[in-house]
Structure 1
Amino acid sequence: MGRQAITHDQLAQFETTFHGTLIRPDDGAYDDARAVWNGLIDKYPALVARCRGVADVVDAVTFARDLELPVSVRSGGHNVAGTAVCDDGLVVDLSEMRGVWVDPDARTARVQAGATWADVDRETQAFGLATPGGVVSATGVAGLTLGGGIGHLRRKHGLTCDNLASVELVTADGKFLTASADENEDLFWGLRGGGGNFGVVTTFEFDLHPVGPDVATCVVFYSSDRLAECLRAYREYVASAPEEISTLASAGAMPDEELFPADAVNERKIGIIGCYAGSIEDGERALAPLRELGEPIADVSGTIPYAELQQLFDEEYPDGMRYYWKSLYLDGLSNAAIDRIASWADVAPSPLSTVDVWQLGGAIARVDTEDSAFSGRHAPFLLGVEANWERPEDDDANLEWVRDCLDDMRQFSDGTVYLNFPGFFEEGEDMMETTFGPAYERLVALKDEYDPTNVFSRNQNVAPSGGALNDGETRHSARNDGGSDRE
């Protein structure tokens, strides 16, 4: 299919009201405008509408809807599935809407949808405050929040979406709405974990908590020869860990020449990463057992600024590298599951890839499904399978490794997934119905009300009941050698 034809007159009319920047395929800025974080994604939109404010967003949505153009929404452009851009359609680009305003007395922050977590942390930490974000500072606030938001503060202060006080958005019919616990309550429920299905969010309001400026951290690595043993000890530790502690166990080579001895750089290893959302002294004591699981290859644990912790993984996930991630919520961390994790980590085709186990529970588990759409609160752990590689010729091996690993690990899961680690939809996959269970019909009802023609379908999609199905953008999110990749 060729690019959607937008006539000269249609574009000229759009330009009379749009105050942002319109970027066309023949503009010099086009390739940069269509590029996203994941180098596996290679989309060619008909037009990128870089918005300055809400009025521009209304105009862009109206323009695309009237012309029946495919629509994607870009904030940080960091979604691993590449949903920020689409072929032959219009990109509603919010990347220049990055304002963050903190009210330190009310402990709230208003955040525009184009902001990244680095933007938020910079402003909130000036007052010794934070809201739970992700673990890579370049991640966009919007996508992470709408999909849930699992970060370093999750067990003490909950998910990112749990800390939403209100949301402002533009719906498919061009209306501007506010959703909160007191206004458009059902929509607010769906926006807290239901993804970007119901409109273009322009501003988030978050509750803030006292955090930092310094936090106690654990960042320790052991040889993969002891991977299963370390994971069993980790399982015992987290079973009684206080809610102030949120940890992640990551298995892979992680070849960092500055961090590891020369003879260990390319060897498989297991890293235990975590932080303590409380006093430094209590945190150091509480995290100490994780540093004593054996003789470490490297241990850089200690007290660091919270903003620095938020940037700890940034260099591991550069723009333009190739990424394919999937996830499963695990029923537990049995010995059999641990053995399979160790086995899959050992055969990863890329030394940059990892198999990760995220500790959940705590504040996450105390929110009922009636209070937010987010699924997965029941699970004690999240399994993340991350293929990260550099060369296009290695695509097939890495995609196959992730898919095979997930197929194997489903025996330890009910099949539900974390929306922010979706990979791409596979043909015939019922990811959304499986993940949301009985709540899925409530999401469909919201879709019927706010987007009955599925204008916002380039996402982890909830299709309306009227049959306006996703046309395949999320099933065909990468283009290699001129064609669509297998998703």
Structure 2
Amino acid sequence: MSASVTAVPSGTVGFSDEQLAELGMSFRGPIYAPGDPGYDECRSVENLAIDRHPGLIIRCSGEADVIDGVALARDHGLLLAVRGGGHHVAGHGTVDGGLVLDMRDMNGVWVDPVNKTVRVQGGATWGQVDREAQVFGLAVPGGVVSTTGVGGLTLGGGIGWLHRKWGLSCDNLISAQVVLATGELVNANADEHPDLFWAIRGGGGNFGVVVDFTFHAREVGPEVALAAVFHEASAGAELMPLWRDLALRAGDDVTTRALYWSMPPAPDLPPPVQGKDVFIVAAMYAGDKQDGQGIIDEFRSLGDPLFDMSEHVPSYRAFQAGFDPLVTNLYSYWKSTYLDELTDDAIAFIHERAMSRPDPSVLIHVPIMGGATAAVPADATAFGDRSAPFMLSFDGGTYDREKYDKVRRWVRESIDAAGRIEGAGGAYLNFSGDEPGEERVIRQQFGANLERLKAVKTQYDPGNLFRINNNITPN
């Protein structure tokens, strides 16, 4: 880049009108500086609690914009954030004063139905992938909601509705194109840059900007056997042990989760659940609908529900999007841990916390793990240990900014107390708000893989240009 950039302390930047004009001529996509029309819209991310003001946003239109943006940050010592879907709860897609590479317009999805692969640009969301792939009865194992970005979820692992059958999102990655800190565009796969390929499967955005992913696609849907059943929240103490036992014997074709939440008092919701505190049993069979209907009906028959929405969700794509309202337009703060066992004591603790939620939009989320996810050795990808059969996530959220601090404190208290459960430990870094001392959590997550990750980081990003993330520092 030839533009002269005036650096100010701590990696932030200031631009004159002349410099901005020169930069604007250099990129195919638009650029936004503070005060520009569209700047506030571009700087926002999914979590409303993240209110950062970048010095410059480059709305990248292709690999060339990403390459030049990386060079701009590197050559002028700028803090650099990379925005894909903008969904990470810690706000890793934005940064105060620095440079944001916004890839949301790089959202192409190309399906090869013959070879059952899907190629995805780095700014796409899982909803966009589902839209294209489901036409062919295919899906890539993604997340729990459709608004999540493909890039962040995959680089951090990728727990969703298909992980017991086909593993994490990163387990289904065939190849990636990565822009390195040097500006070089490389292919990372089993044969080319294999250490980098290992590292980006769970190690986050520490090693470069992934502009293109190629995945295995799996035969799923469009119609699937699924359960979406709503009970009184007070019934959770009795129902969660039954759900746990059923989940453990249901087989790897079934991914299921139990959730505590509060339904909004919206008139378009079924009257039995409007404004109710609920315990939700959700499950999906990742195979032929007729083959899976029997086991799914067992989940539907637990207890005496307020409402069974299962028949009202017509497809895999609809199910994937059905939980979007749980995480949208909220001031959010999340923390998670893994559980070696979901004991009756752990269930009693979870229920007690559910009954003390400080806001209706606070979600407690307990997915079963295992299956194909646990079949992958801990050192096969950067993700780390996969042996825990359950995860516990406290997904704090509120529509009221004034309540955010209270929600955040409650999440911190909950995760600290959960750490005293026997067999609890580690964290799913895609479900983790930033906090001082995260090095400890990162070490717990990656375990023995951390030293290898540091070596890969040292090789590909020795200056730690890519550090607005769950950061792995170079040696």
- TM interval, shorter chain, is over 0.9
1:364–1:256 Cα change, 3 Å: farther
Q: For 1:198, which of 194, 199, 207 is the aligned residue?
A: 207
Alignment of 1:71-220 (within 5 A): 71-220=80-229
- Paired residue secondary structure (2:40): helix
What is the aligned length? 463
1:295–1:52 Cα change, 3 Å: same
Distance 2:38 2:270 in 1: 40
Tell me if 1:22 matches 2:9. Answer: no
Moved more, 213-222 or 4-13: 4-13
Alignment partner, residue 357 of structure 2: 348
Tell me if 1:425 matches 2:459. Answer: no
Alignment of 1:37-436 (within 5 A): 37-255=46-264, 257=266, 258-261=268-271, 265-302=274-311, 304-319=314-329, 321-412=330-421, 413-427=423-437, 430-436=440-446
Alignment partner, residue 4 of structure 2: none
Alignment partner, residue 444 of structure 1: 454
1:213-258 CA distance string (max 9 Å, x none): 1101101122223211111111111121111100010013233544
Tell me if 1:457 matches 2:467. Answer: yes
Q: Could you tell me which amino acid in structure 2 is paired with residue 178 of structure 1?
A: N
Distance 1:374 1:454 in 2: 20
Mind listing any 5+ residue stretches in structure 1 that lack a counterpart? 466-487
Distance 2:234 2:394 in 1: 20
1:413-461 CA distance string (max 9 Å, x none): 4421111101122346521112111110111111101111111111111
- Paired residue secondary structure (2:346): helix
- Paired residue secondary structure (2:225): strand
1:380-414 CA distance string (max 9 Å, x none): 00111011101111111100110000001112344
Distance 2:473 2:18 in 1: 33
Mind listing any 5+ residue stretches in structure 2 that lack a counterpart? 1-8
Distance 1:212 1:428 in 2: 39
Asked whether the 8 Å contact 2:418–2:424 carries over to 1, the reply is no
TM-score (norm 1): 0.92
Distance 2:265 2:180 in 1: 45
Asked whether the 8 Å contact 1:44–1:87 carries over to 2, the reply is yes
Moved more, 281-290 or 52-61: 281-290
Asked whether the 8 Å contact 1:100–1:119 carries over to 2, the reply is yes
Distance 1:81 1:26 in 2: 25
Asked whether the 8 Å contact 1:74–1:95 carries over to 2, the reply is yes
Moved more, 54-63 or 7-16: 7-16
Distance 1:433 1:225 in 2: 37
Q: Could you tell me which amino acid in structure 1 is paired with residue 325 of structure 2?
A: E
RMSD of Structure 2 on Structure 1 (CA): 1.6
Distance 1:425 1:259 in 2: 37
Asked whether the 8 Å contact 2:283–2:299 carries over to 1, the reply is no
1:345-390 CA distance string (max 9 Å, x none): 1111101112111011100011112221113411100111011101
- Paired residue secondary structure (1:304): coil
Q: Could you tell me which amino acid in structure 1 is paired with residue 214 of structure 2?
A: E
Alignment partner, residue 5 of structure 2: none
TM-score (norm 2): 0.94
- Paired residue secondary structure (1:73): strand
Alignment partner, residue 478 of structure 1: none
Q: Could you tell me which amino acid in structure 2 is paired with residue 153 of structure 1?
A: L
- Paired residue secondary structure (2:419): helix
1:295–1:396 Cα change, 3 Å: same
Asked whether the 8 Å contact 2:163–2:372 carries over to 1, the reply is yes
Distance 2:368 2:425 in 1: 18
